[in-house]
Amino acid sequence: MTSLLQFNGTIDKRGVGLEFIKSTVVKNKVIGFDRGTLETWTTEDKDYDEKHLCTVCGQLHPRMYVAFRKPCGMFGCWVQFRYNGEVHVPDLSIPITVKEYPRDAIRMSDVESSRMWHNDYGMEKILEMEMNRVRNLMR
For position 4, what pLDDT does the model report? 59
For position 124, what pLDDT does the model report? 54
Q: What pTM value is reported for the model?
A: 0.67
For position 5, what pLDDT does the model report? 55
DSSP for the chain reads: -HHHHT--S-EETTEEEEEEEEEEEEEEEEEEEETTEEEEEEEEEEEESSEEE-TTT-SEEEPPEEEEE---EEETTEEEEEETTEEE---TTSPEEESS--TTPEEP-HHHHHHHHTTTS-HHHHHHHHHHHHHHHH-
Q: Which residues in the chain land under pLDDT 50?
A: 121-123
